[in-house]
């Protein structure tokens, strides 16, 4: 079941566009950030300005959480992901190029955007993922450790 569930998680991430990232400020205050993202299996990547609060928060504390969901008015059809993981700044040139290609494939508009020296790439590697699927049964939530 775990391999099948992991495949569902990979597919869910690949077919959605936005996540809601939770970070914690150095003062201990929670913050939520809506981000466009791309994924490789269960690892997600997003670009952001290097001077944002989320980057300061991640630099101070790499523990993050995020959700990916959809606006489903039918409660019994709801699916979502709840993810806990570690965030880091991507610096490897090969990784930057590879993920840039993935980003351009998912978001073609990025191919026309000029390079920005203030933009960095963040990677979030999951530690645990909860897959919610209320079509199985109300409150259904399956856990996968990574």
- The mean pLDDT value for 42-46 works out to 98
pLDDT band at 4 (very low <50, low <70, confident <90, very high): very high
Q: What pLDDT does residue 70 have? A: 86
pLDDT digits 0-9 by tens, 71-98: 878 889 899 999 999 999 999 999 999 9
- Quick check: 97 and 103 in contact, CB under 8 A? no
Q: What pLDDT does residue 73 have? A: 86
State the pTM of this model.
0.94
In the CATH hierarchy, which fold is given to the domain comprising 2-145? Pnp Oxidase; Chain A (2.30.110)
- The sign of the CA dihedral 130, 133, 80, 27 is negative
Q: What pLDDT does residue 74 have? A: 87
- The mean pLDDT value for 51-75 works out to 94
- The mean pLDDT value for 45-69 works out to 97
- Average pLDDT of the chain to the nearest whole number: 95
The domains of the chain are located at: 2-145
Task: Kindly give, in sequence order, each residue whose CB lies less than 8 Å from that of residue 13, ignoring residues fewer than 6 positions away.
Answer: 37, 39, 41, 42, 44, 68, 81
Q: What pLDDT does residue 1 have? A: 66
- The mean pLDDT value for 102-130 works out to 95
pLDDT band at 52 (very low <50, low <70, confident <90, very high): very high
pLDDT at position 125 over 80:
yes
pLDDT band at 115 (very low <50, low <70, confident <90, very high): confident
């Amino acid at each position: 079941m775990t391999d099948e569930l992991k495949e569902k998680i990979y597919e869910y991430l690949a077919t959605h566009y936005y996540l809601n990232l939770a970070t914690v400020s150095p003062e201990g205050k929670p913050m939520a950030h809506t981000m466009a993202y791309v994924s490789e299996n269960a690892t997600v990547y997003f670009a952001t300005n290097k001077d944002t609060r989320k980057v300061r928060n991640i630099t101070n504390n790499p523990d993050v959480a995020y959700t990916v969901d959809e606006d489903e008015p039918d409660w019994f059809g709801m699916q979502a992901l709840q993810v806990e993981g570690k965030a880091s700044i991507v610096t490897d040139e090969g990784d930057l190029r590879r993920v840039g290609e993935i980003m351009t494939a998912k978001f073609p508009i990025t191919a026309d955007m000029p390079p920005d020296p203030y933009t960095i790439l963040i990677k979030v590697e999951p530690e645990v993922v909860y897959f919610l699927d209320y079509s199985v049964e109300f409150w259904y939530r399956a856990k996968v450790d990574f």
